[in-house]
């Protein structure tokens, strides 16, 4: 299926409202709901389903908004089969409540019908700076704005969204949906300053000088890990994240098709079986590659990518090689094959393009320009438990992948929500002490 068709399908809810209400009416409204336990941010699932079941979309949206600032995104990219739906009591019958679809249906309906938001409190509790506008930064910004803080988000790119916009391909998460969620956060009073890289353009110390009471670092893992094997210098080997970004720029009209590094007829290998690898594989297929194979060194049951994404990739013609470990890139100037070791012995797999997807680590732009922020041996920011999320520098907090290593959108959100609480406690305490 082409990227355009896949994206169009995702921009709309797969359920109409009547079907969503019928699905909501199947819910047993369990007393101790396991679906909620399965949700990393403890969404009040039975409550929003109960409101939907009686057609009260406003209340359903209000219940969701208590915990989530990104419901249209979570309703699309979360691993529901492992989380809410996997835990639903009806999963035993093979037919769990389709919580993800219900969540996105409510979020989409609320946007399309322009349902009014609850009144946001006056911004009187203090000023907060948020660095980075991926899932962690947006979550912190939204939560703090709802609690009465004046929040400014600083984003290095021209448009906010981070990995939601530049990393996850459109066929998994439409850019329209991400923009819509960001618009919702702006409506809470959050301001966005784009094209501003904290570190080189403006330092953390300068942010404090400008009157911010606390600062959140949510810059994720911006640097893709390399795979230094013999032959790494051959032409045709690149990062999966580079392909995803170039494809986004092309699809948004900022780049010619020729500059996207996968062309019709290419024989593509992807090294790594996480979501980024599978996203890159599906993208390469969508760009007309003759063959796309994901090479993963573990067994099939340990594939880190979402199961639904794996199944979609297989359906689209992507091949998977399990227990297959890359040992050398082969070729003469240009890549010709990958040498792998397998349980059956060494093999050569022909390829003219290889996409690396072997993890990522944080950039050090902020910590290298700021005194007193400690990182561990791998460059991840060290945080403390009280106030939750504060780094070794007073008033500077961090959360999401830059602390916890690459994880899913909702796991970054879960940690970010805890940090937002820590930041609010910290600023309230500092202001109280100043009064005393
Ligand atoms: Fe409804 Fe399933 Fe949650 Fe029970 S576990 S409240 S049936 S969604």
Domain 3-112 has CATH 1.10.1060.10: yes
- Architecture of the CATH domain 224-360: 3-Layer(bba) Sandwich (3.50)
pLDDT over 90 at 195, yes or no: yes
Q: Which residue, by CA, sits nearest to atom 3 of ligand 1? A: 35
Domain segments of the chain as ranges = 3-112, 127-222+362-435, 224-360
Sort strands 127-131 and 214-217 into parallel, antiparallel or unpaired. Answer: parallel
Which single residue is written with the structure tokens 């529901």?
A: 80
Element (H, E) at 319: strand 319-321
- Position 384 scores a pLDDT of 93
Alpha carbon of residue 324 to chain centroid:
28
Give dist(CA 266, CA 278) in Å, integer: 17
pLDDT over 70 at 280, yes or no: yes
Q: How many angstroms separate the alpha carbon of residue 303 from the centre of ligand 1? A: 28
Residues 183 and 167 sit within 8 Å (Cβ to Cβ): no
Looking from the CA of residue 91, the nearest atom of ligand 1 is 2
Q: Which of 23, 31, 34 should be mutated for ligand 1, with most atoms under 8 A from CB? A: 34
Question: Average pLDDT of the chain?
Answer: 91
Give dist(CA 287, CA 136) in Å, integer: 31
Q: Which of 89, 99, 102 should be mutated for ligand 1, with most atoms under 8 A from CB? A: 89
Q: How many angstroms separate the alpha carbon of residue 6 from the centre of ligand 1? A: 30
Q: How many angstroms separate the alpha carbon of residue 23 from the centre of ligand 1? A: 11
Percent of the chain with pLDDT over 90: 73
Model confidence over 370-390: pLDDT tens digits? Answer: 888 999 988 899 999 999 999
Protein residues whose CB sits closer than 6 Å to any atom of ligand 1:
27-30, 33-35, 45-46, 49, 88-90, 97, 99
Q: How many angstroms separate the alpha carbon of residue 99 from the centre of ligand 1? A: 9
- Position 404 scores a pLDDT of 86
Model confidence over 82-117: pLDDT tens digits? Answer: 899 999 999 999 999 999 999 999 999 988 888 877
Nearest residue to 196 via CA among 153, 230, 147: 153
Domain 127-222+362-435 has CATH 3.50.50.60: yes
- Position 8 scores a pLDDT of 44
- Position 3 scores a pLDDT of 55
Q: How many angstroms separate the alpha carbon of residue 108 from the centre of ligand 1? A: 22
One fold for both 127-222+362-435 and 224-360? yes
């Amino acid at each position: 299926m082409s990227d355009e068709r896949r994206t169009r399908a995702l921009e709309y809810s797969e359920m109409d409202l009547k079907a969503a209400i019928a699905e909501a009416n199947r819910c047993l409204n369990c007393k101790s709901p396991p679906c909620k336990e399965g949700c990393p941010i403890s969404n009040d699932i039975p409550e929003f389903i109960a409101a939907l079941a009686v057609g009260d979309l406003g209340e359903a949206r209000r219940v969701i908004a208590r915990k989530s600032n990104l419901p249209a995104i979570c309703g699309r990219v979360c691993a529901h089969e492992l989380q809410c739906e996997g835990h639903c009591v009806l999963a035993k019958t093979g037919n769990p409540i389709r919580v993800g679809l219900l969540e996105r249906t409510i979020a989409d309906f609320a946007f399309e019908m322009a349902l009014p938001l609850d009144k946001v409190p006056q911004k009187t509790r203090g000023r907060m700076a948020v660095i980075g506008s991926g899932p962690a930064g947006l979550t912190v910004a939204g939560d703090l704005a709802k609690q009465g803080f004046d929040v400014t988000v600083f984003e290095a790119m021209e448009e906010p969204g981070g990995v939601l916009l530049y990393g996850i391909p459109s066929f998994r998460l439409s850019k329209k949906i991400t923009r819509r969620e960001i618009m919702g956060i702006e409506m809470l009073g959050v301001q966005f300053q784009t094209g501003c890289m904290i570190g080189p353009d403006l330092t953390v110390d300068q942010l404090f000088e400008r009157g911010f009471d606390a600062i959140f670092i949510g810059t994720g893992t911006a640097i893709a890990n390399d795979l230094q094997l013999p032959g790494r210098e051959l032409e045709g080997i690149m990062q999966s994240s580079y392909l995803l970004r170039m494809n986004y720029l092309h699809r948004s009209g900022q780049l010619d098709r020729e500059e996207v590094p996968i062309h019709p007829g290419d024989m593509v290998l992807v090294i790594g079986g996480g979501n980024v690898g599978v996203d890159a594989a599906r993208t390469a297929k969508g760009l007309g590659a003759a063959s796309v194979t994901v090479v993963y060194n573990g067994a099939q049951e340990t594939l880190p990518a979402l199961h639904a994404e794996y199944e979609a990739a297989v359906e689209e013609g992507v091949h998977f090689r399990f227990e297959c470990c890359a040992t050398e890139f082969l070729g003469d100037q240009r890549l010709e094959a990958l040498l792998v070791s397998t349980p059956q012995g060494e093999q050569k797999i022909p390829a003219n393009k290889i996409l690396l997807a072997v993890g990522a680590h944080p950039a050090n732009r902020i910590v290298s320009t700021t005194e007193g922020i400690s990182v561990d041996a791998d460059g991840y920011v060290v945080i403390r438990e009280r106030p939750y999320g504060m780094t070794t520098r007073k008033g500077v907090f961090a959360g999401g992948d830059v602390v916890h290593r690459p994880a899913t959108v909702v796991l970054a959100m879960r940690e970010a929500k805890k940090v937002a609480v820590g930041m609010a406690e910290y600023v309230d305490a500092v202001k109280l002490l100043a009064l005393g």
